[in-house]
Chain A
Amino acid sequence: MKKYRILIAKPGLDGHDRGAKVVAHALRDAGFEVIYTGLRQTPEQIVKTAIQEDVDLIGLSILSGAHLQLSKKVIELMKKEGIANIPVFVGGIIPPDDVPRLLEIGVTRVFGPGTPLSKIVQEVREVLEGVTSTSGS
């Protein structure tokens, strides 16, 4: 039976993992297998992990403000490794006008502070299963 595997990663040096862990927990409770990388991951490490764990989606949590550089680097490396088909979600303290820039880089979804967990779970399902659910279960 197909089980979706999601990588939740914290690139960069920022040590605030409250959000990453809460999201990982919610995804687990929503039935996903969540691989957590821990803090201070380089883009290289994240991409290698995504390959070895054969994940279906990557979630990056960044609160330090370095989201543009870090997301860009992760996506560039994914292209190089031939796994650019894996959707990438970015969450954290993201100024609104950076959202279009992130999407342009190739990020699939961006979540700022205050995003409900149900919305994240729903969008993960949408992207993975192509399901558009109407309620925010």
Chain B
Amino acid sequence: MYDKEQVKKIAEAFEHWQQRTENDMKKFPERKQKFLSSSGYEFKRCYTPLDVAELDYLKDLGMPGEYPYTRGVQRTMYRGRFWTMRQYAGFGTAEETNKRFKYLLQQGQTGLSVAFDLPTQIGYDSDHPLAEGEVGRVGVAVDSLRDIEILFDGIPLKDVSTSMTINSTAVILLSMYAVTAQRQGAKIEELRGTIQNDILKEYIARGTYIFPPEPSMKIVTDIFEFCAEHMPKWNTISISGYHIREAGASAVQELAFTFGDAIAYVESAIKAGLDPNVFGRQLSFFFAAHNNFLEEIAKFRAARRIWAKIMKERFNVTNQDAMKLRFHTQTGGSTLTAQQPLNNIVRVAIQALAAVLGGTQSLHTNSFDEALGLPTEQSVQVALRTQQIIAYESGVADIVDPLAGSFAVEALTNEIEEKVWEYLEKIDSLGGMVRAIELGYVQKEIHKSAYEQQLAIEKGEQIVVGVNAFQTKEEKPVENILKVDPALEEKQKEALRQLREQRDNRAVAKALKELKQAAQEGKNIVPYVFEAVKCYATLGEISDVLREVYGEYTESTSI
């Protein structure tokens, strides 16, 4: 970005400055020997034009909304419209969650995000022995279409955009959502929203897998195919680095493994005969925003550039829309502390600011009490207000990509990108992401990073305020931690029992039989799941049919 003569002068000045600084440091040493990023590379003392001398503005940054999208995927970014403020919510029964949704919409939230309980995520009905104690715990319990009808009662699905955190049973929940919308009178073509549907990261980090990788990838591809034709406004997948990061990955690993997964999905869809120019527009991403403010901003910017290059150069995509990395961000749950929980409000604000400066399309801010249990209405409100303050008061949303050109931010963006490519090469050399996961390579890398982070905290090399420094003697307990009523499980089971009595069981048996046959024959299963859902076949029944055909996965464990 600078001419050679100028660079030379700066280099000389920098050299002098370094010498003087080192002289000073004999008297006044720096706080640490090394200042390390979360990814283990070193932060320089000070960044100068020398660090970005090679940067080619038009090639490496481009204008906002233009390739390689380093500066953002829209031309006007938040000057046009703010990011979607989307708080993940869901607990207990569909009735209760429905109430919370209505409350959030009333408070100015602009999109819905559904959390499901673990039995729903792993394909068990509420009355399955493995579901005991887990019903309605970390999200809403869904056994059949009936629960989804209640969940969205009074909420016009054609007008809201809904994000559903669901993976191995995504095809079932998507079908239930679409059928509910149809019964409300909406056309499924107009539905907007996202299903997470990112099965690969479940094997790596989140653990709600059911089937082995191969049939799982087949289901993902079936959904791509179905939605490309019938639900063009729907994001068919949210390829998630969030959980990878939360499992202990560094910022670089978060991007590398997420793109590793993404490449596997794209390859699998291309293999199934789909056009990346078409389905590429329906891919979306999900990242975490952690504490290291500048590194996180650089991470988001690097992510856009890397993805654009992958789509253009690796997959020869020509459609600009299919090169744009659109992503949701959540602040880092694992950065929250149970000690002095109010401090978390500040952490969340800083992380949320990084996400906004990094150009996110939607954002979830965590509630300060989440290291203790489920968030209360009050803590959820503070979290949402944090976003609103950033949007309406801070002014950062008024300038597109305001940190571009910062020597530090651009240098970090380059550094992260470079390290991500190294990882992607390694994954390719192992035979691709599915293979790398089966080998346990990815899991091991993340575990190593998690253990190192923990040791750094143990040794006091990394400070966590209120945890290993600045502790207070007596902690005032947080009031009103929300708990799930244990009676809820019985209620849900009873409703399920009644459903099984009332529905047309012959129709259910027929639909399940047809689904099984379709799965065995390798047909696209989505339409068959739709039919099963319509006659109130349960989530567990549908999952069981697929388990029979596809088998079940056992994890790879090593440390």
> Which residues of A come within 8 Å of B, CB atoms?
12-18, 21-22, 24-26, 28, 36, 38-40, 42, 64-66, 68-70, 73, 93, 95-97, 112-114, 116-118
Contact = CB atoms under 8 A, between A and B. Distances in A.
Contacts of B359: none
Contacts of B130: 13, 40, 42
Size bracket, chain B contacts? 35 or more
A80 to B, nearest CB: 17
B374 A65 contact: yes
B206 A93 contact: no
A25 B458 CA distance: 14
Contacts of A16: 206-207, 246-247
Contacts of A65: 137-138, 373-374, 483-484
B137 A66 contact: yes
Contacts of B76: none
B477 interface: yes
A13 B134 CA distance: 8
Contact of B118 (A36, A64, A95, A96): A64
Main secondary structure of the interface of A (DSSP, over half): loop
A117 B207 contact: no
Given A65-B138, A66-B134, A69-B132, A15 B207 contact: yes
A22 B138 contact: no
A18 B559 CA distance: 11
A28 B129 contact: no
Given A12-B118, A36-B557, A95-B372, A64 B337 contact: no
Contacts of A17: 207, 247
Given A16-B207, A18-B246, A117-B458, A95 B373 contact: yes
B451 interface: yes
A133 to B, nearest CB: 16
A24 B557 CA distance: 12
Interface in B329-376: 334, 336-339, 371-374
A84 to B, nearest CB: 21
Nearest to A43: B132
B282 interface: no
Contacts of A73: 133
Given A18-B248, A25-B451, A114-B467, A97 B477 contact: yes
A73 B467 CA distance: 32
A64 B131 CA distance: 12
Contacts of A113: 336-338, 371
Interface string B191-220: 000000000001000111000000000000
B75 to A, nearest CB: 39
Contacts of A40: 122, 130, 207
B558 to A, nearest CB: 9
Interface string B228-257: 000000000000000000111000000000
B122 to A, nearest CB: 6
Interface in B475-510: 477, 481, 483-484, 486
A130 B334 CA distance: 33
B213 to A, nearest CB: 16
Nearest to B454: A22
Given A112-B338, A114-B467, A96 B372 contact: yes
A26 B202 CA distance: 24
A18 B122 CA distance: 19
A14 B121 CA distance: 10
Give me the 10 closest cross-chain CB pairs, A-B, nearest first: A15-B207, A69-B133, A13-B118, A66-B133, A113-B338, A95-B373, A65-B137, A114-B467, A113-B371, A25-B559
B12 interface: no
B450 interface: yes
Contacts of A114: 337-339, 371, 464, 467
Contacts of A25: 447, 451, 559
Given A21-B447, A113-B336, 5 more contacts: A15-B208, A18-B248, A42-B130, A93-B372, A112-B338
A71 B448 CA distance: 29
B119 interface: yes
A28 to B, nearest CB: 7
Which among A40, A65, A70, A97 has the highest number of chain B CB atoms within 10 Å?
Answer: A65
Nearest to A16: B207
Which among A13, A64, A65, A95 has the highest number of chain B CB atoms within 10 Å?
Answer: A13
A13 B458 contact: no
Contacts of A36: 557, 559
B247 A18 contact: yes
A89 to B, nearest CB: 17
A64 B132 CA distance: 12
A21 B207 CA distance: 13
Contacts of B124: 13
